[in-house]
């Protein structure tokens, strides 16, 4: 059934509605847990980076994007990130967009964020800053001395912007890896201390990491982070998503997603029904297009399709990839695609509604 559903999504919507767009190879960090590391880039990125004009041609081929993640590397390291974000907002019917960042160059990030907000009034925008531990652990993981202090400063200043722009939201993302799994309690205290008033997303390390041991995580430590979030939800100190009408639903969806990740890692879930390659897709900065960040099957390079994303997305190779994902009952814990899958599968919708009602009751 999901083969037909995914093919229909691709044919009707023409392009991925959840698009992860890599706009830069560069990064200010050298994280231990990074899969987008030199080795990965060397073996996977074969072409020159797309120019602004090439990104513009891609945007012109897209009718609508429901959610655009502008990422890298470090997307804010691009001098023209403001123009790039503006261009996508202008050329596509952009519903929401986000930039994840290490938060390292505070002034630069704040100034670019404010320009983006001013240029695109009313379009929900979120910046997510990574924070992986207390100062010592975070700096160790990130391999940059002032990375913790700068990230905290960036979060605080972004939070001030949040109070000026109703359509802006600030998230904190922590990746649980071998290097911070034993300090999850301290990590939770750190997040609470900085008085961040948005969503705290806890991701599980994945891929072939820069430091091979990063991937070695005891799931109980990951679950511990969930418990911190759950208890903050219960005692009313957890704010969750904001900035648009559906934001509280995203907070409820993330509760279901955290449970789902644990079930997947414990082998309690069946694979299949993944919407990567239909609703969700990835464009790397060399123009190669993939269903997700984990699979090696490429749709091809957008340059070979004259920057026409609908043509590439609905090619015979695209159909083969979608069918192959379903045939192999592919399964993983990638948070973005899990979110999409939860929203697509009716049984999870019921769970999300249940969590939303619980949140409403807690807040009433
Ligand atoms: S994990 Fe992100 S911030 Fe860290 S090195 Fe990789 S791309 Fe850069
Ligand atoms: S289950 Fe994971 S690896 Fe498989 S297609 Fe979906 S997102 Fe990609």
Collapse the DSSP code of 101 into the 3-class scheme (helix H, G, I; strand E, B; otherwise coil) and give the result: strand
User: Which whole number is the average pLDDT over 277-303?
Assistant: 96
User: Nearest ligand, CA of residue 24?
Assistant: 1
Q: Give the CA radius of gyration of the chain.
A: 19
Distance of alpha carbon 320 from alpha carbon 312, whole angstroms: 12
Would you state the pLDDT for residue 191? 93
Q: Give helix 335-344 / helix 346-363 axis angle, nearest 10°.
A: 100
* Pocket-forming residues, ligand 2, beta carbon under 6 Å: 274, 276, 291-292, 294-295, 325, 330-332, 334, 337
pLDDT level of residue 363 (50, 70, 90 thresholds): low
pLDDT reported for residue 364: 67
Q: Whose CA is nearest to atom 6 of ligand 1?
A: 34
| Structure confidence by residue, pLDDT tens digits, 72-125 | 999 999 999 999 999 999 999 999 999 999 999 999 999 999 999 999 999 999
Instruction: From residue 71, give the alpha-carbon distance in Å to each of 75, 183, 320, 350.
Output: 5, 28, 27, 31
Lowest mean pLDDT among 5-9, 74-78, 283-287, 290-294: 5-9
Nearest atom in ligand 1 to the alpha carbon of residue 73 is 7
From CA 288, how far away is CA 298, in angstroms rounded? 7
Ligand 1 pocket, residue 255 CB under 6 Å: no
Which of 31, 116, 43, 110 lies closest to 284, judged by CA? 43
Tell me how crowded residue 247 is: count the other CB atoms within 10 A of its CB. Answer: 18
Pairing relation of β-strands 288-290 and 300-301?
antiparallel
H helices of the chain, in order, are: 2-13, 38-44, 52-60, 81-91, 106-119, 135-142, 147-164, 184-193, 219-234, 247-265, 309-313, 316-327, 335-344, 346-363
**What is the number of the ligand 2 atom nearest to the C-alpha of 328?**
4
- Output the CA 147–ligand 1 centroid distance in Å: 12
pLDDT digits (tens, 9 = 90+) for 172-212: 999 999 999 999 999 999 999 998 888 899 999 999 999 99
| pTM, rounded to two decimals | 0.94
């Amino acid at each position: 059934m999901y083969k037909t559903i995914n093919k229909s999504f691709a044919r009707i919507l023409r392009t991925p509605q959840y698009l992860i767009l890599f706009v830069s190879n560069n990064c200010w960090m050298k994280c231990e847990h990074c899969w987008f590391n030199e080795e990965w880039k060397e073996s996977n990125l074969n072409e020159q980076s797309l120019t602004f004009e090439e990104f513009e041609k891609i945007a012109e081929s897209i009718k609508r994007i429901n959610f655009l993640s502008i990422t890298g590397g470090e997307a804010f390291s691009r001098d023209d990130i403001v123009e790039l974000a503006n261009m996508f907002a202008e050329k596509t019917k952009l519903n929401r967009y986000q930039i994840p960042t290490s938060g390292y160059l505070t002034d630069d990030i704040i100034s670019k964020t404010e320009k983006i907000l001013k240029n695109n009034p009313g379009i929900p925008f979120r910046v997510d800053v990574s924070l992986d531990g207390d100062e010592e652990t975070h700096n160790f993981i990130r391999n940059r001395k002032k990375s913790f202090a700068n990230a905290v400063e960036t979060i605080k200043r972004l939070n001030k912007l949040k109070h000026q722009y109703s359509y802006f939201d600030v998230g904190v993302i922590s990746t649980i890896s071998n290097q911070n799994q034993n300090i999850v309690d301290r990590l939770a205290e750190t997040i609470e201390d900085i008085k961040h008033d948005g969503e705290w997303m806890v991701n599980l390390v994945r891929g072939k990491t820069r430091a091979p041991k990063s991937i070695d995580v005891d799931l109980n430590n990951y679950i511990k982070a969930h418990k911190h979030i759950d208890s903050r939800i219960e005692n009313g100190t957890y704010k969750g998503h904001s900035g648009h009408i559906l934001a509280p639903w995203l907070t409820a969806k993330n509760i279901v997603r955290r449970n789902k990740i644990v079930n997947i890692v414990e082998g309690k879930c069946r694979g299949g029904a993944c919407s990567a390659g239909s609703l969700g897709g990835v464009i790397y900065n060399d123009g190669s297009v993939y269903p997700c960040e984990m699979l090696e099957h490429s749709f091809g390079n957008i340059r070979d399709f004259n920057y026409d994303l609908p043509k590439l997305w609905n090619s015979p190779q695209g159909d083969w990839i979608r069918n192959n994902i379903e045939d192999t009952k592919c399964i993983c814990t990638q948070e973005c695609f899990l979110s999409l899958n939860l929203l697509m599968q009716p049984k999870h919708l019921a769970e999300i509604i249940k969590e939303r009602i619980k949140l409403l009751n807690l807040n009433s």
